[in-house]
Structure 1
Amino acid sequence: MTPRDDSDANSNRWSDLDRPPLNAVALRRALVRNGGHDGLWCDVDVVERTGSTNSDLVALAAAGKAEEGAVLVAEEQDAGRGRLDRRWTAPARSGLFFSVLLKPTGVPVERWGWLPLLTGVAVAAGLSRAAGVETALKWPNDLLATVGGTERKVGGILAERAGPDAVVVGIGINVTLREDELPVPGAGSLALAGAVTTDRDTILRAVLRSLEQWFEKWRRVEGDPAASGLQEAYAAGCSTLGRTVRAELPGGESITGEAVAVDRDGRLVLATAEGVQQPVGAGDIVHLRPAGSPENE
């Protein structure tokens, strides 16, 4: 995968002692086994700055310059994207901003919608293991942690098709952001949530190893969410379940109900006041909010 830019690690390594750069060489040594032949990850590139790692990796895949298992990490993003093209920016080296190229070979396309949920489960497990922070999953793509007794968003996930047989999954995690650096009041960071370490090399290795384990487990059973244990694991970590929420749909419509399950297609099932169980897919909604919250929250 090209190009590679490790200039930040070489020329500015000690420019911010509180936020040292990632060690690209050590990351490749730890994650790329036998040249990429003995595991999922085939390459780990760290660039100093980019607009969006997802956009870059989708373009590299389209040009035939990235293979399955490619990982692209940016020390800083100035045009990071979330769902519905929402923007996400953060100070340099304050978080982990990376994308991975996956090919769900043998998995029916209708099950590919589980990839963001699978990634959430994997990231939560990796953060618990490496940083000692217990994160909850807000359906469909947010990572929450408790800061001062309140759940705050510390990360997000974005999956995009990259051709007929591949998906690029982007992950953003706020690691060392301070209160005065948070983009919105509802945001948080691992540091604010009491992480036992904010070493980004350690956290990234743990997250990628967890993602590899979950992806291979899921792919081995052709993406079956029950057989892989994914459906059960996601439900166990999903803070949305059991709460009354409002799913805002395109065109100004909305559905309000208690979130009672995540079905086999990865959709959130809402039990409405009319006694109807209504599934909603991630692609169907504009926002998912607590019932009764302001529309501009």
Structure 2
Amino acid sequence: MASPFTDLDRPPLSPRSLERALVTPGALWSRIDVRAETASTNADVAAAAVKGDPEGLVVVAEQQTAGRGRRDRQWTSPARAGLTLSVLLRPGRADAERNWPTLQTGAFAWLPLLAGVALREAVERVAEVDASLKWPNDLLVDGGKCAGILAEAIGDAVVIGIGLNVSTRAEELPETTGLPATSLRVAGAAVTDRDPLLRALLRGLASWYAGWREAGGDAEMSGLLAAYRRGCATIGRQVRVLLPAGETLTGEATDVDGDGRLVVRTADGEQHRVSAGDVLHVR
């Protein structure tokens, strides 16, 4: 394996400094595991969830060899060019110390949207670029896809995977069938240092998650619904939605509701509430 210091624009992350900063008394994060290479951080954390590991595990890969997004699409990135991580949360388990109740699985649908809110805030604050969210799981910068989010429920646990293109050069970006891929570097970000980006993301994710758990999974009460609506580029757009069963829905995306569903008004005026699907912004 090549030395992680061969590309000085892409220094390796420091597990020790990340642990010191993020694994503190009372913090959500219990362990930061930085791996030089792994097939899939989501698969690694899913295995830990099945084994019974507690909430708060974070696995970060400097290079991922078999990453995937929604519908099993491949997610690729050069070594240390992006942030590739997965976290273990257990919203289906009560936490007496924090006074968090057990949440029903119906509330879990908010977790990828919650991660999107935290990611958008971290990118805007640290990288100083304008970012928006494409329902349900993409971060857009300059009209291109800069990050993707994948959440998987495993019993009382949810594994959230995030892949963010940070210092990826234009010629390294993958070909896509939908929106063009981009990176913070290509978008002219003020900061492409992954360390402060990762710290801001994990702190924001922990903060939003705590508020959501304290509100019993109520996205409106916790402020999560309003934050998502503010950052969502899909609301107000004409969209074409490919539904899981293969049907297509076309209309105006008018809202995201309290259950995290996209509300689409078709030409006949009927409102459809979409809980899962691939969305294309028509204009």
Give the TM-score, by structure 1 length. Answer: 0.88
- What SS does the aligned partner of 2:201 have? helix
C-alpha contact 2:241 2:249 (8 A) present in aligned 1: yes
1:108 aligns to 2:104 (yes or no): yes
- What SS does the aligned partner of 1:215 have? helix
1:157 aligns to 2:149 (yes or no): yes
1:69 aligns to 2:61 (yes or no): no
Q: Which of residues 17, 34, 40 in structure 1 aligns to 2:28?
A: 40
Q: Sort the Cα spacing of 1:102 and 1:15 in 2 relative to 1 into closer, same or farther, 3 A.
A: same
Match of 1:119 in 2: 115
1:17 aligns to 2:8 (yes or no): yes
- Structure 1 gap ranges (5+): 1-7, 293-297
Shifted more, 127-136 versus 224-233: the winner is 127-136
Residue identity matched to 1:140: P
C-alpha contact 1:117 1:266 (8 A) present in aligned 2: yes
- What SS does the aligned partner of 1:44 have? strand
C-alpha contact 1:108 1:222 (8 A) present in aligned 2: no
Q: Take 1:158 and 1:251, find their aligned partners in 2: how far apart are those partners? A: 19
C-alpha contact 2:234 2:281 (8 A) present in aligned 1: no
Match of 2:167 in 1: 176
Q: Take 1:102 and 1:253, find their aligned partners in 2: how far apart are those partners? A: 32
Deviations 1:83-117 (A, max 9, x none): 11111011100000000001114222211100000
- What SS does the aligned partner of 1:81 have? coil
1:95 aligns to 2:87 (yes or no): no
The percent identity for this pair of structures is 52
Residue identity matched to 2:263: V
Q: Sort the Cα spacing of 1:262 and 1:25 in 2 relative to 1 into closer, same or farther, 3 A.
A: same
1:201 aligns to 2:192 (yes or no): no
C-alpha contact 2:59 2:87 (8 A) present in aligned 1: yes
Match of 1:232 in 2: 226
1:188 aligns to 2:182 (yes or no): yes
Q: Sort the Cα spacing of 1:199 and 1:59 in 2 relative to 1 into closer, same or farther, 3 A.
A: same
- What SS does the aligned partner of 2:192 have? coil
Q: Take 1:278 and 1:161, find their aligned partners in 2: how far apart are those partners? A: 25
Please state how far the C-alpha of 1:137 moved relative to its aligned partner: 0.2
C-alpha contact 1:131 1:196 (8 A) present in aligned 2: yes
Residue identity matched to 1:76: Q
Q: Which of residues 127, 146, 161 in structure 2 aligns to 1:131?
A: 127
- What SS does the aligned partner of 1:88 have? coil
C-alpha contact 2:152 2:160 (8 A) present in aligned 1: yes
Residue identity matched to 2:272: Q
C-alpha contact 2:175 2:181 (8 A) present in aligned 1: yes
Residue identity matched to 1:30: A
Give the TM-score, by structure 2 length. Answer: 0.92
- What SS does the aligned partner of 2:118 have? helix
Match of 1:50 in 2: 38
Please state how far the C-alpha of 1:291 moved relative to its aligned partner: 3.4
C-alpha contact 1:191 1:198 (8 A) present in aligned 2: yes
- Structure 2 gap ranges (5+): 95-101
Residue identity matched to 2:198: L
1:26 aligns to 2:17 (yes or no): yes
- What SS does the aligned partner of 2:279 have? strand
Q: Take 1:291 and 1:130, find their aligned partners in 2: how far apart are those partners? A: 30
Cα RMSD between the aligned structures?
1.4
C-alpha contact 1:256 1:291 (8 A) present in aligned 2: no
Q: Sort the Cα spacing of 1:170 and 1:250 in 2 relative to 1 into closer, same or farther, 3 A.
A: closer
